[in-house]
Structure 1
Amino acid sequence: MTSLSFDIVNAIRQRQNRGLPEEIHKKVILHISDTIGISLAAHKGAPIALQSISGISLGVEGGAGRVIGSKHQLPPAYAAFSNTALAHALDYDDINDLARIHPTPIILAAALAAADIADSRATDLVTAVGLGNELICRLGYAIEPRGTGADSKWFLSQLFGYLGAAITAGLVLGLDDSELVNALGLAYMQLAGGKEPGVGVGSQARSIYPAFASMGGVQAAFLAREGVSAPESSMDGKTGLFRNYFGENLSEDQRKILLDTESWAFSDTAIKLFPSCRYSHPYIKSALILRNQFKHTQIENLVIGVNETASMLCHPIEERCRPKTLQDAKFSIPFMVAFTFVHGRVNLNNLTEKALMDSQVLELTKLVKIKHTQPDTLGLPHGDIEVKTTQGTKRHIERFLPIVTIDEVKNKFIECCLFANIVAPEEVWKTISNNPDYDLVNKLPLIFH
């Protein structure tokens, strides 16, 4: 049996040789466009992203790497960090619910960074992003995350993002198979992604965790290009990735899931319509439906039904009900439910730092009770809300979120541009969504601070 690293590279090559199916090609363009819109909005709405870019740039002057919406240029790996930070900081980026991974913010940043190196661009942007997104989603699929075992300890986007970014950057650089295996091994040496920035409260760090993955993956690909080797056993050796981080190597069935080249895991990746943690979205939808039946001032008791995954966004209950940072508010189901009942809309314009002091929302969170009502399953928890009002008791369980349409994605893009005070957002949408290439960054408006 060959090493898992070689098998991964072989599976990627098979997909690359066949080319992206038409529907996947179109979907990748849609997700690239969505990510660009979010990144532009982050220049206004996510100070933590700008602080992080300033921090990563200390002592650095110039470079080949371009930053979305900015005239500044950095070394490519730092530019990758910056672009992922912009794409993720608003908590508005795409996510594969079954894999529990945000693919495009990491993979797009890695592709753009590698393309800024001379004599690169061996793979076109859409193909590189499509293949990288597929790999990172398949890594998530293979471990079947349910939020209860070893997978619950890690931000899987970050942990697997190093690998996806390394392969993506390697494809753009034109690395051969052995060099791609080395890139995986060099990415393995940097793996991280402990989940305490999400589970813990009171900090902003959750906003930028995927940025470390894109930066590390790009650097791994650059090292491999220059001839630095790494063990081909980095994925399945005695101290390889899966044994170290998940307790054991992949089973034969899990390997088949990871190495499958017929179906596309990325096809299940969703584009967000609310700028908050994805696990809060079924509860937001339930609150919107219940809100049509009574006023929030009539609520006497509010019970939120959870499983282990949703419970993480509900405890410690006092801090989740009265979050100290906007990042914590977006990672709090009690707060997001109360906010939705009070305001009826959740968007960039009203979910701001001011929301943390919204007296109506904070009063409503005092009525929240948490109850374990759901099994620990793959994908999203169900949005289970039971409300006792002066008119009686109402309950709604949102089991599925609807598929987002192209028009909804376009409207979200325009919303992001208007939020960032960008003129003629329709024209920007046309420019980006019409078969984007590596020069798209140069076609974007600049955001001045």
Structure 2
Amino acid sequence: MSLSNEIVRAVRQRQSQGLSEDIRSKVILHIMDTIGISLAAYKGAPVALRAIQGISFGVEGGMGRVIGSARCLPPAYASFANTALAHALDYDDINDLARIHPTPVTLAAALAAADAGPSRGTDLITAVGLGNELLCRLGHAIKPCGTGADSKWFLSQLFGYLGAAITAGLILGLNDDELIHALGLAYMQAAGGKESGVGTGSQARAIYPAFSSMGGVQAALLAHAGITAPASCLDGKTGFFRNYLGENLTEEHHSVLLNTETWAFSHTSIKLFPSCRYSHPFIQSALELRKQFRLDEIKEIVIGINHTANMLCQPLEQRCRPTTIQDAKFSIPYMVAFSFIHGRVNLNNLTEESLKDPLILAFTDRIKIEQTQEDAPGIPLGDLKVIGTRGTKRKIKRIDSETSVNEVKQKFIECMQFGNVGDPERQWELLSDHLDYDIINKLPILDTKE
């Protein structure tokens, strides 16, 4: 049996078992979080709006609705638009062990597929939950450490094509053979080179998962139209894993990927800072150390990193003086300096204007980088040492993956307030009590361009 067959069988098994109450509640929280971020993007992420304009150039009308907009596009394009809105602020959910942002990809694919056809093969929460689980399982299976083949790819994008294809396919009511074809057609589009994140001076990393949701939806629609693809697309001689990661999955990889007893998605976190997840433990350490020093007492800050974190520190001069907000959010040195200067990190203060803040830029001159950690699965520790006029203190912070319902609700409200959306408490109650495919129609219109 091919790996595509096995994946589809595992997805069907989970579908027949249904989502537990805990997982269902968690999926709802992640959908709500994604909606709030997407609406905030209309004010805080003009790059997403420009990307939507670019991807829809020459396109008039369609069946796919866009969150917060009166605009309608062909379904695959609408999926791109909704993922771009959800990811552009770098505030979206992430599975630390998988190194994947799942919900921006699967929610967009689900909404687009629902708009594409009159019948819907499963409900919204189940579809997003199953798609998220596949994405997280793919990441858990290969145990990315930030070195070797996995370090070359944005895994949210590379694996996102497969997760989006399955999510959309389930909603379109594809049978097992058609889901296998959808995986093969997704493989034909797969991409996700990481240079747009490792390199500096660009905005492209703000939208990279959008390509995968668009491609996954297109793959499912092609399969729905009767286009076939080989079942060997994932594990054949020139298949997905051999091409992109150097070798096919081992039996150990298979056992993790195809496990249907536990939920990898249960370890997915909702962000509390609008920046790259790798910066979060360093931000937390900086915020705690800031309480123990006056800024004028700090002579030097030493950031202790591993190989993965070092990619967000080099080249140091460019990382300390980012030219785009995307580079700033992807820079550990800049985010550490920002945290010391401001004492908080949120949508209101982490803006394009902050790139020119002389206090932050001067503070980055006090930063040094040392390798103190080995590469390992998950997010590096936030290792910071402050050398001051009255002594030296060090903080090593481990990121907390748990986010409470109240924290998510507060973040949702803050996103809505940032986006100038009225009565966010009421919006939370209306949406969270009944999430369905018509959710877009219940949202305020922030962009009237068609």
TM norm structure 2: 0.99
- Distance (whole Å) between structure 1 residues aligned to residue 428 and residue 239 of structure 2: 43
Which residue does 2:405 correspond to in 1? 406
Which residue does 2:151 correspond to in 1? 152
- Distance (whole Å) between structure 2 residues aligned to residue 445 and residue 296 of structure 1: 42
Deviations 1:290-334 (CA, angstroms, capped at 9, x unpaired): 011012221101100000110010000000000000000000000
Does the CA-based 8 Å contact 1:305-1:373 persist in structure 2? yes
Alignment of 1:376 with 2:362, yes or no, is no
Does the CA-based 8 Å contact 1:98-1:378 persist in structure 2? yes
Q: CA deviation at 1:227?
A: 0.4
- Within a 5 Å distance, the mapping from 1:266-277 to structure 2 comes to 266-277=265-276
Deviations 1:234-253 (CA, angstroms, capped at 9, x unpaired): 01000001100111100001
Count of matched residue pairs = 448
Does the CA-based 8 Å contact 1:64-1:76 persist in structure 2? yes
Alignment of 1:167 with 2:166, yes or no, is yes
Does the CA-based 8 Å contact 1:115-1:438 persist in structure 2? yes
- Distance (whole Å) between structure 2 residues aligned to residue 402 and residue 376 of structure 1: 19
Which residue does 1:361 correspond to in 2? 360
Q: CA deviation at 1:120?
A: 2.8
Which residue does 2:191 correspond to in 1? 192
Alignment of 1:415 with 2:414, yes or no, is yes
- Distance (whole Å) between structure 1 residues aligned to residue 374 and residue 174 of structure 2: 44
Which residue does 1:224 correspond to in 2? 223
Q: CA deviation at 1:338?
A: 0.3
Deviations 1:24-75 (CA, angstroms, capped at 9, x unpaired): 0000000000000000000110000000000011100000000000001000
Which residue does 2:233 correspond to in 1? 234
Give 2:198's aligned amino acid. Answer: V
Which residue does 2:387 correspond to in 1? 388
Identity %: 69
Which residue does 1:336 correspond to in 2? 335
Does the CA-based 8 Å contact 2:64-2:115 persist in structure 1? yes
TM norm structure 1: 0.99
Q: CA deviation at 1:118?
A: 2.6
Which residue does 2:428 correspond to in 1? 429
Q: Secondary structure at the match of 1:233?
A: helix
Which residue does 2:441 correspond to in 1? 442
Q: Secondary structure at the match of 2:232?
A: coil
Alignment of 1:215 with 2:176, yes or no, is no
Give 1:223's aligned amino acid. Answer: L
Which residue does 1:58 correspond to in 2? 57
Which residue does 1:31 correspond to in 2? 30
- Distance (whole Å) between structure 1 residues aligned to residue 210 and residue 447 of structure 2: 22
- Within a 5 Å distance, the mapping from 1:135-150 to structure 2 comes to 135-150=134-149
Alignment of 1:40 with 2:39, yes or no, is yes
- Distance (whole Å) between structure 1 residues aligned to residue 82 and residue 398 of structure 2: 33
Does the CA-based 8 Å contact 1:29-1:435 persist in structure 2? no
Which residue does 2:287 correspond to in 1? 288
- Within a 5 Å distance, the mapping from 1:88-167 to structure 2 comes to 88-167=87-166
Q: Secondary structure at the match of 1:238?
A: coil
Q: CA deviation at 1:401?
A: 1.9
- Distance (whole Å) between structure 2 residues aligned to residue 122 and residue 133 of structure 1: 17
Unaligned segments of structure 2, at least 5 residues: none
- Distance (whole Å) between structure 1 residues aligned to residue 362 and residue 233 of structure 2: 51
Q: Secondary structure at the match of 2:144?
A: coil
Deviations 1:128-149 (CA, angstroms, capped at 9, x unpaired): 0000000011000111000011
Task: Tell me the C-alpha RMSD between the 2 structures.
Answer: 0.7
Which residue does 2:10 correspond to in 1? 11
Name which of structure 1's ranges 425-434 and 331-340 shifts more when overlaid on structure 2.
Answer: 425-434
Q: CA deviation at 1:391?
A: 1.0
Q: Secondary structure at the match of 1:447?
A: coil
Deviations 1:217-274 (CA, angstroms, capped at 9, x unpaired): 0000000001000010001000001100111100001001000000000000000000
- Within a 5 Å distance, the mapping from 1:251-330 to structure 2 comes to 251-330=250-329
Q: Secondary structure at the match of 1:198?
A: helix
- Distance (whole Å) between structure 2 residues aligned to residue 400 and residue 213 of structure 1: 28
Q: CA deviation at 1:404?
A: 1.1
Give 1:51's aligned amino acid. Answer: R
Q: Secondary structure at the match of 2:116?
A: coil
Does the CA-based 8 Å contact 2:117-2:172 persist in structure 1? no
- Distance (whole Å) between structure 2 residues aligned to residue 118 and residue 38 of structure 1: 27
- Distance (whole Å) between structure 1 residues aligned to residue 377 and residue 295 of structure 2: 32
Does the CA-based 8 Å contact 1:114-1:120 persist in structure 2? no
Which residue does 1:20 correspond to in 2? 19
- Distance (whole Å) between structure 1 residues aligned to residue 296 and residue 194 of structure 2: 36
Q: Secondary structure at the match of 1:116?
A: helix
Q: CA deviation at 1:402?
A: 5.4
- Distance (whole Å) between structure 2 residues aligned to residue 124 and residue 401 of structure 1: 31
Runs of 4+ in structure 1 off by over 6 angstroms are none
